[in-house]
């Protein structure tokens, strides 16, 4: 019975995984309206995220105010402790003074000097009336003395207790302040994450808008399959952009000693790198259409894109891309803000870098052999604005240096 049940579960798991892999490979036709719906989703996410940022910032302000109030409370407690200490000191002084005062009064009443002034005072009575009077004065005096001192001692004790209470309260407040500061730290972290998400979603929105704009300008219908439409098109652009936001030239186009073979060999493109290595996003150098996603043992993972720059046709190639990071597919229309993949070191490569080749004409369309492609190559510096000095860092995709 149990064995049958286990078999049934295994069959169900196998069936569901078959279904999942089948649904994963299913390619759906996408239209401009679908892209707009995706854009709306992104914008809604962005809006919700912005709301959360406002909310988090309010909570940070509120927590800061709480800490401010605690600091005021602690200051007040410190003032009260100082006051209670001063009062205790004054009471101590009062007790000493009262004691001296009583002794002075007794001395005035004393008829002869001796050790036991009270008793002497009483036994010096010359009549029973005088004796009773002296007894009563002496008792009242002693009682008055004791009452006063007891009262002051009680006040000292009350002040000492209040001081203990205040110190305890102060410790509690300090602990609360520590907790609130920890809360601010975690809220700050939360806020930073939200801002980071905002930046990445802003990038996605910008790209999504660019793509929609491109398909619309190209005349694709709102409900037309964009892959079908894209096949007819090559989106225009006015210039090439650096394919990464930050970077520097590590090796020039043209004749060079090959870093792996050590022999003189023609370098078909320009090599670019970046200290961020395997996190560097590689962008399309201009609007265009992806025509090849490929792999060879020398080029590694690579992408080939067709461009139409001011009516002139070009082909760009991006080599050595990191495995598993390619974000476009054959037939995709891309803008210069489309992330193609992450920089890598696949194929013949000594370290993470991008090899960018640019040729005139459309490879695989205007000509189809590698030799013809090599014949059409241009120095990428002729069309992309790279700093003239090798190793000079740039920090954006267009200006002369940064
Ligand atoms: Zn290279």
CB 7 within 8 A of CB 195: no
Task: Find the 309 Cα to ligand 1 centroid distance in Å.
Answer: 24
Give residue 254 CA to ligand 1 midpoint distance, Å: 10
CB 359 within 8 A of CB 313: no
Report how far ligand 1's centroid is from the alpha carbon of 379 (Å).
Answer: 12
Tokens 């802003």 belong to 202
* 233 C-alpha to ligand 1 centroid (Å): 30
Answer whether residue 131 shows pLDDT above 70: yes
CA of 269 to the centre of ligand 1 (A): 6
Burial 242-260 (b: 16+ CB within 10 A, else e): bbbeebbbbbbbeeeeeee
State how far the Cα of 166 lies from the Cα of 161, in Å rounded to an integer.
Answer: 9
Lowest mean pLDDT among 12-26, 81-95, 201-215: 12-26
333 Cβ contact partners less than 8 Å away, ≥ 6 residues apart? 211, 214, 215, 218, 226, 230, 233, 235, 287, 288, 289, 290
In this predicted structure, the answer to whether residue 378 has a pLDDT above a threshold of 90 is yes
Ligand 1 centroid to 348 CA: how many Å? 9
Instruction: Measure 251 CA to ligand 1 centroid, in angstroms.
Output: 7
What is the residue-averaged pLDDT of the chain? 84
H-run or E-run covering 76: helix 32-109
Q: How far is the CA of 380 from the centre of ligand 1 (A)?
A: 12
Report CA(2)–ligand 1 centroid distance (Å).
61
Instruction: Give me ligand 1 centre to Cα 400, in Å.
Output: 22
Residue 270 CA to ligand 1 center (angstroms) comes to 6
CA 267 to ligand 1 centroid distance, Å: 6
**HEC profile for 83-138?**
HHHHHHHHHHHHHHHHHHHHHHHHHHHCCCCCCCHHHHHHHCCCCHHHHHHHHHHH
- Per the model's pLDDT, the better-predicted residue between 172 and 115 turns out to be 172
Do 361 and 313 contact (CB within 8 A), yes or no?
yes
Centre of ligand 1 to C-alpha 271, Å, is 5
pLDDT in tens, 329-343: 998 889 999 999 999
Coil/strand/helix, residue 32: helix
Burial of 241 (0-12, 13-18, 19+ CB in 10 A): buried
CA distance 304 to 363: 9
Q: Are 316 and 357 in contact (CB under 8 A)?
A: yes
49 C-alpha vs ligand 1 centroid, how far in Å?
41
Distance 266 CA to ligand 1 centre (A): 10
Token output for 125: 């009575």
210 Cα: distance to centroid of ligand 1 (angstroms): 30
Residue 230 confidence (pLDDT)? 67
pLDDT at 7 (0 to 100): 57
The domains of the chain are located at: 49-197, 234-382
How confident is the model at residue 231, as a pLDDT? Answer: 66
Q: pLDDT (tens digit, 9 = 90+) per residue, 158-203?
A: 888 888 988 998 899 899 999 999 999 999 999 999 999 998 899 8
Distance 338 CA to ligand 1 centre (A): 22
Terminal-to-terminal C-alpha distance of the chain:
72
The answer for residues whose C-beta is within 8 angstroms of residue 5's C-beta and 6 or more apart is none
pLDDT digits (tens, 9 = 90+) for 37-90: 999 999 999 999 999 999 999 999 999 999 999 999 999 999 988 998 888 888
Distance 395 CA to ligand 1 centre (A): 21
CATH 3.40.950.10 fits 234-382, yes or no: no
230-253: per-residue pLDDT in tens?
667 788 888 999 999 999 999 999
Burial 199-226 (b: 16+ CB within 10 A, else e): eebeebeebbbbbbebbeebebeeebeb
Burial of 166 (0-12, 13-18, 19+ CB in 10 A): middle
Instruction: Supply the CATH classification number for the domain 49-197.
Output: 1.10.287
pTM: 0.52
Query: Would you call 280 exposed, middle or buried from its count of C-beta atoms within 10 A (0-12, 13-18, 19+)?
Result: buried
Residue 35 DSSP SS3:
helix
Q: How far is the CA of 159 from the centre of ligand 1 (A)?
A: 83
CA 355–ligand 1 middle distance (angstroms) = 4
């Amino acid at each position: 019975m149990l064995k049958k049940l286990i078999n049934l579960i295994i069959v169900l798991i196998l069936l569901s995984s078959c279904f999942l892999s089948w649904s994963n490979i299913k390619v759906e036709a996408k239209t401009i309206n679908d892209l707009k719906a995706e854009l709306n989703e992104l914008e809604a996410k962005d809006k919700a995220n912005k709301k959360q940022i406002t909310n988090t910032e309010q909570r940070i302000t509120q927590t800061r105010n709480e800490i401010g109030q605690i600091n005021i409370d602690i200051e007040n407690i410190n003032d009260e402790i100082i006051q209670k200490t001063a009062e205790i000191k004054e009471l101590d002084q009062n007790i000493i003074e009262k004691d001296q005062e009583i002794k002075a009064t007794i001395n005035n009443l004393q008829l002869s000097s001796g050790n036991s002034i009270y008793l002497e005072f009483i036994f010096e009575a010359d009549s029973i009336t005088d004796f009773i009077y002296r007894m009563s004065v002496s008792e009242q005096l002693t009682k008055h003395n004791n009452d006063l001192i007891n009262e002051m001692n009680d006040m000292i004790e009350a002040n000492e207790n209040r001081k203990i209470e205040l110190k305890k309260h102060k410790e509690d407040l300090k602990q609360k302040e520590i907790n609130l500061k920890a809360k601010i730290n975690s809220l700050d972290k939360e806020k930073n994450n939200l801002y980071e998400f905002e930046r990445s979603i802003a990038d996605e929105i910008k790209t999504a808008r660019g793509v929609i704009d491109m398909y619309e300008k190209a005349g694709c219908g709102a409900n037309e399959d964009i892959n079908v439409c894209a096949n007819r098109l090559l989106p225009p652009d006015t210039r090439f952009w650096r394919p990464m936001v930050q970077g520097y030239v590590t090796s020039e186009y043209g004749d060079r000693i090959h870093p792996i073979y050590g022999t003189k060999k023609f370098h078909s493109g320009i090599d670019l790198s970046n200290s961020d290595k395997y996190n560097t996003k590689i962008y399309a150098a201009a609007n265009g259409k992806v025509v090849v996603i490929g792999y060879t043992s020398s080029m590694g993972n690579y992408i080939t894109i067709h461009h139409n720059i001011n009516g002139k046709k070009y082909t760009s190639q991006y080599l050595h891309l990191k495995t598993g990071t390619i974000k476009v597919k054959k037939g995709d229309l891309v803008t210069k803000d489309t992330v193609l993949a992450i920089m890598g070191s696949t194929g013949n490569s000594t370290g993470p870098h991008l090899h960018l080749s640019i040729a005139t004409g459309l490879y695989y369309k205007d000509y189809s052999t590698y030799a013809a492609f090599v014949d059409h190559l241009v120095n990428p510096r002729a069309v992309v604005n790279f700093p003239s000095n090798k190793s000079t860092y740039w920090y954006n995709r267009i200006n002369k240096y940064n």
